[in-house]
Structure 1
Amino acid sequence: MEMYGTGDVGLVGKHLGNYRLTQLLGRGSFAEVYLAEHRHLKMQAAIKVLHTHIQEREAEAFYAEARTLAQLEHPNIIRVLEGGIDGDVPYLVMAYAPNGTLQQRYRLGQCYEPHVILPHVMQIADALSYAHQRRIVHRDMKPENVLLGVAHEALLSDFGLAVIAHHTHSQHREAFAGSVNYMAPEVIQGYPRPASDQYALAAIMYTWLSGKPLFAGTFREVLSQHLTLAPTSLTTHLPDVHPGVAHVIERALAKDPHQRFPDISSFARAFEQACLGEPGPYEAGYQAQPGIMERERIVEIPTGDEALSTRQIEAETQRIPASTRHISRRLVVGSIALGAGIIAVGGGVSWWALRRPEAAQSTPKKSPAPTHSPAQKPLPPFGTRLLIFNGHDIHNDPQQAGSYNTITALGWSPDGRLIASADLNRVLVWDAGQGKLSAQPREQLGSITRLNWRDNDTLVSVNGQQPGANESGVRVWKAHSGVVQATYHSGGNAIPIVVSPDGKFVLGMKNVSDQKNASNLGNLLVWDLVTGETQTTHPGLHVLSNVDASWSADGKYIATAFSTGGSSGDVDIALFGIMTWRRDNGSDLVSNPSGEHDALHIAWQPGGRLVATGYIEGHVRVWDGLSGAQQAIFQAGKQGESVLALAWSPDGTRLAASIGSLQAQGYVSAVPVWDIARKQLLGSYAKHTDYVRAMAWSPDSTRIASTDGSVVHIWQAE
């Protein structure tokens, strides 16, 4: 029997059941999480190895909880595939979520607009409602327990993990150090119920909106504040917050669970209405309807050195301000003692009270309703044009002529302040809020096909010229001074297409001689940006004049698409291809996944594994870049309209496509935007008068900059 300590990282390479642990993903208070691979199926999974050793009499309780978790099937709940005990160490096998957690997505200290967090709030609430209908309470809601799936959808994890820890005597103070910030008063008192998850979600939302935790202080101080203090109103931190938003959050944070919303779905709907500025049931005061029976109460009798003594508890309550001592001191002392039992290490005794919990002996009084400032300006509707930048227009620069002022590339700075736009002659850097030039125009030779920001003052431009052109290459230069830091030429008649996310490699195209139509065909290759040495060659023939490519965020994979769309009589002479392949060795992963070939554009989801392809016929497909599995198909345009560009939002949740055609009445152009997780069209922006050849999202995923010939539109995209 092998013993695993809580700090042991030596599990990598070992087997648990049919899985080999390949990488330590993270360590929490209850468990360590490993990336693992099934020894036969070669599929990845996440394995959570608990920080405990199960005794024989506890094994059945563990398996019972594992069976309950495995029965949860919901698009916003991480799947538990199986559970097991290796020696005396319990573990859970779960689906692998590749994009981190909401703790990483919404950083403490930053304030997020209500409409930004709304999609994830709705997903979390839907998952919790599903669990509550099955008489399951999460008990440990916190941002780090919400993972992000391949489409950046919320995936709740760790259902029941705290319960399993209680069963196995692994509970300790550190285990609840993060959870205490979101712990409902009745959970501290030992009475968890569905309304407890509502309180926890509201506390999470409060932190996202205000940038501050609900309460601050030591572990015991935060416990006592949950029991006794009304939190600072959101309007104090955010004077312009919509009153409805503040009311909804405050009601869900009521000390008495019966004063909260009747259920988690009602809470989420009220928040959605408030975000949209619609009237709703914001005011607290009505009783929850009888519904789902709360799960059984857990009572802990603390023993051992870590249990808080009565004297310590008395000392803690002395710190509570006199103005807040309207709640029974007996209730506070007893509840903190119970909280001490929850965090006791070893020696604690647990049992289930197999009945509905009785009401608390004392009901906290309602805190006075806070005053609210005037409502903030409503969020502009989707498609609202916020700005037009015409710095490339020939009327502003008579020296420019004809098509030379057509904008070919856009890039939005990481801090959201600046936009860089390129035409065939120069690059302009300008303020995204006011449209004023922020730097002198930078003269450029050649056609800039890609324009990216390395940081807030460094630009990387790709000049994709035909083979032999001297200006073909990649330049790194300062946005404000225009000083060129480096220029990289591939040599050997290779055309650069796109730089890798880490800036180390370039994907490009090289001529293929002695082939039919040799002047138009080439092989893909990856070369080192600094040394120019070829790292990988993809031997498949591609069409030099029409290649689009995109890297995965980790730089391991590349997606490419090309098409000629040509024919002669009854004979199709078109050359086409859609594929994803490995950067390290050039081997194909997926080829033509849908059976359709004539894709003009391709884009890999930021931080995910989805790939979008836009087709000549005007539709867009979304599919898994590693397996080829189809996820969604969207009809972007009408007959005769083609997809001209694709752009994922930086958070990976939405996709924009430019469609266009030349009709008798002139250009027809529009940019539809879809929510990928919900597979819904959010809206379409149709105020362009020319083709949209390039688009760029703002870093906060709320706005889009799109080209319109020689001008740029900035518009609301959510």
Structure 2
Amino acid sequence: IGYMAPEQIQGKPRPASDQYSLGIVVYEWLSGTKPFQGSLTEVVSQQLAVPPEPLREKNASISPAVESVVMKALAKDPKERFTTIRDFAAALEQACQADVSDATILVRPPVQSEQQEPVVAPSNPQTQLTVNVNTQTPRSTPTTRTASRSLGATPTLYTYREHTGKVNSIAWFWDGKYFASGSDDQTVLVWNITSGNRVSTYRGHSGKVNAVQYAPGGLRIASGSDDKTVQIWEANTGNQLLTYRGHTNSVKTLAWSPDAQRIASSATDEDVQVWDPARGSFIFIYRGHIYSVNSLAWAPDGQRIASGGGGKAVQIWDAAEGHFIFAYRGHSAPVNAIAWSPDSKIIASGSEDKTVQVWDVVTGYNIFTSRDHSSVVTAVDWSPDGSLLASANGDGFVQLWDTSSGRKVDSYRHSSPVRTVAWSPDSTCLAFGGDDGTIQVWVVS
């Protein structure tokens, strides 16, 4: 099973399946191990949804060109592999012979849509750069972005313009090279952060897309919509894997468990449903709310879920069986956003009372409250390194807070109300999107 192509596992073998198997052999030959390890069930799951670990992380002497060829042969989508095994062999031979000592090869997921103009780091760090996503003449070699800045300096920003409706949700791929955005225009766009290209467009929904999240450590994306569904699909191909139809109203928020074995989702009602994203089977419903749920977040340790909404309280409950644990009642208006600290000990919550409150999840002790927003708080997110908290409001302001002191360290005003903020996995970039349909990535460090 360790050498079988994803489509072969699904009972749909084709000539390209042999190329994938050969790619596994070459990967093992070069690195000393097969790309996917574990039990039979774990290997099958990885073959279907998890990208192989880059070869150069296992053997640094392998050239980027060789790695690129092998990863192309191991694409999950057969259409994205080489046309024939002969082409694969020729490309591999050429890569082995090439002088790549000074080359930069960017390995990307398979591209479904047209290429666009890549992002290039501005020579002036105070420049705001706009990505022209409609040009048909991209540069042949994308330039890796290296812009950075110190907190308090003029922001370095990259702007992505292709959505035709409000941007409601942004999620980063685990390696920080890609992010996905969901919009009122009923699409989810997947972007290459290095090149600025739109990698693919997902059009499976028939209503506004309100929530988007990558599966932790994998290629699957879950997206929730006004069409009352949560859909699971492959980020690199757009292939739909599963549609969950357990909700009877518009799906507003969702969260993967840290082990990617469960999803919690809520519609415009008071219930939160927890279900299996592999089978689409219902597990349990949490019924602790009496008003609509606007936001929910799964604790990084996987043990608890926090949810909040029209009832003004943030409720914490057991993720395994749905038992109520605690309610934080510090807000005086509906709660719109929730974020856990990386150590699962603290929560930040944003509300229509215009405050961001940071509090201890065990005692409910308020660590600090920010009253700096002049409008309803629409989004919060904790940087993965734990040092900064980002919040945004209906006036378009995005603010950064030092989590150790509660001091505001930076702010930026977007051109429209901001609906979503999301930190990159390495905590160096903050992406946010709003009502004008644009996404901006703020290079923080």
Normalising by structure 2, we get a TM-score of 0.60
1:411 is matched with 171
Counterparts of 1:593 and 1:547, CA distance in 2: 16
1:702 is matched with 428
Q: Does 1:506 align with 2:263?
A: yes
Counterparts of 1:419 and 1:670, CA distance in 2: 21
Q: Is the 8 A contact 1:578 1:597 kept in 2?
A: no
Q: Is the 8 A contact 1:419 1:431 kept in 2?
A: yes
| Residues 378 and 597 of structure 1, relative CA distance in 2, 3 Å threshold | closer
**Deviation, structure 1 residue 494:** 8.9
Q: 1:649 aligns with which of 383, 404, 411?
A: 383
Counterparts of 1:695 and 1:608, CA distance in 2: 19
Q: Does 1:379 align with 2:149?
A: yes
| Residues 529 and 621 of structure 1, relative CA distance in 2, 3 Å threshold | same
| Residues 587 and 528 of structure 1, relative CA distance in 2, 3 Å threshold | same
1:435 is matched with 196
**Deviation, structure 1 residue 646:** 0.8
1:454 is matched with 215
Query: Percent identity among equivalent residues?
Result: 25
Within-5 A mapping of 1:118-267 = none
SS class of match (1:439): strand
2:44 is matched with none
Counterparts of 1:418 and 1:581, CA distance in 2: 32
Q: Is the 8 A contact 1:457 1:480 kept in 2?
A: no
Which string of whole-angstrom CA distances, capped at 9 and with x for unpartnered residues, describes residues 147-202 of structure 1? Answer: xxxxxxxxxxxxxxxxxxxxxxxxxxxxxxxxxxxxxxxxxxxxxxxxxxxxxxxx
- Which structure features the higher share of strand residues? 2
Structure 1 unpaired stretches of 5+: 1-106, 111-375, 394-404, 466-470, 511-519, 564-574, 661-667
| Residues 490 and 378 of structure 1, relative CA distance in 2, 3 Å threshold | closer
Q: Is the 8 A contact 2:212 2:223 kept in 1?
A: yes
2:298 is matched with 551
Within-5 A mapping of 1:1-400 = 379=149, 381-382=151-152, 384-393=155-164
Amino acid at match of 1:428: L
**Deviation, structure 1 residue 427:** 1.8
Which string of whole-angstrom CA distances, capped at 9 and with x for unpartnered residues, describes residues 644-666 of structure 1? Answer: 11111122221100022xxxxxx
SS class of match (2:287): strand
Within-5 A mapping of 1:505-524 = 505-509=262-266, 521-524=269-272
**Deviation, structure 1 residue 530:** 3.9
2:54 is matched with none
**Deviation, structure 1 residue 457:** 7.0
Q: Is the 8 A contact 1:388 1:435 kept in 2?
A: no
Counterparts of 1:659 and 1:493, CA distance in 2: 26
Amino acid at match of 1:389: Y
SS class of match (1:600): strand
Q: Is the 8 A contact 2:252 2:294 kept in 1?
A: no
Which is higher, the Rg of structure 1 or of structure 2?
A: 1
**Deviation, structure 1 residue 387:** 1.0
Q: 1:609 aligns with which of 345, 348, 371?
A: 345
Counterparts of 1:710 and 1:557, CA distance in 2: 33
Which string of whole-angstrom CA distances, capped at 9 and with x for unpartnered residues, describes residues 533-571 of structure 1? Answer: 543433333323x521111012211111112xxxxxxxx
Counterparts of 2:377 and 2:163, CA distance in 1: 24
Higher relative contact order (CA 8 A, sep 6+): 2
2:283 is matched with 535
Counterparts of 1:430 and 1:714, CA distance in 2: 11
- Which structure features the higher share of helix residues? 1
2:274 is matched with 526
State the superposition RMSD in angstroms.
3.1
Amino acid at match of 2:228: S
Q: Is the 8 A contact 1:490 1:496 kept in 2?
A: no
Q: 1:598 aligns with which of 324, 328, 334?
A: 334
Counterparts of 1:557 and 1:613, CA distance in 2: 16
Q: Is the 8 A contact 1:653 1:676 kept in 2?
A: yes
SS class of match (2:232): strand
Q: 1:630 aligns with which of 366, 379, 403?
A: 366
Counterparts of 1:489 and 1:711, CA distance in 2: 30
**Deviation, structure 1 residue 407:** 1.4
Which string of whole-angstrom CA distances, capped at 9 and with x for unpartnered residues, describes residues 330-379 of structure 1? Answer: xxxxxxxxxxxxxxxxxxxxxxxxxxxxxxxxxxxxxxxxxxxxxx9873
| Residues 455 and 611 of structure 1, relative CA distance in 2, 3 Å threshold | closer
Decide which moves more: 455-464 or 610-619. Answer: 455-464
Amino acid at match of 2:265: G
Amino acid at match of 1:502: D
Counterparts of 1:377 and 1:440, CA distance in 2: 27
Which string of whole-angstrom CA distances, capped at 9 and with x for unpartnered residues, describes residues 357-407 of structure 1? Answer: xxxxxxxxxxxxxxxxxxx987355451331111225xxxxxxxxxxx221
Q: Is the 8 A contact 2:215 2:222 kept in 1?
A: no
SS class of match (1:392): coil
Q: Is the 8 A contact 1:380 1:716 kept in 2?
A: no
Counterparts of 1:505 and 1:496, CA distance in 2: 17
1:673 is matched with 400
Counterparts of 1:598 and 1:481, CA distance in 2: 38
Counterparts of 1:379 and 1:670, CA distance in 2: 19
Counterparts of 1:625 and 1:702, CA distance in 2: 26
| Residues 445 and 459 of structure 1, relative CA distance in 2, 3 Å threshold | farther
| Residues 459 and 442 of structure 1, relative CA distance in 2, 3 Å threshold | farther
| Residues 420 and 679 of structure 1, relative CA distance in 2, 3 Å threshold | same
Which string of whole-angstrom CA distances, capped at 9 and with x for unpartnered residues, describes residues 450-497 of structure 1? Answer: 2222368724123143xxxxx433322222322223333326779573
Within-5 A mapping of 1:465-504 = 465=226, 471-490=227-246, 495=251, 497-499=253-255, 500-504=257-261
| Residues 702 and 430 of structure 1, relative CA distance in 2, 3 Å threshold | same
SS class of match (1:622): strand
| Residues 528 and 438 of structure 1, relative CA distance in 2, 3 Å threshold | closer
Q: Is the 8 A contact 1:560 1:602 kept in 2?
A: yes
Counterparts of 1:491 and 1:408, CA distance in 2: 19
Q: Is the 8 A contact 2:291 2:309 kept in 1?
A: yes
Amino acid at match of 1:636: D
Structure 2 unpaired stretches of 5+: 1-56, 61-145
Counterparts of 2:265 and 2:198, CA distance in 1: 32
Q: Is the 8 A contact 1:536 1:583 kept in 2?
A: no
| Residues 680 and 507 of structure 1, relative CA distance in 2, 3 Å threshold | same
**Deviation, structure 1 residue 680:** 1.9
**Deviation, structure 1 residue 448:** 2.2
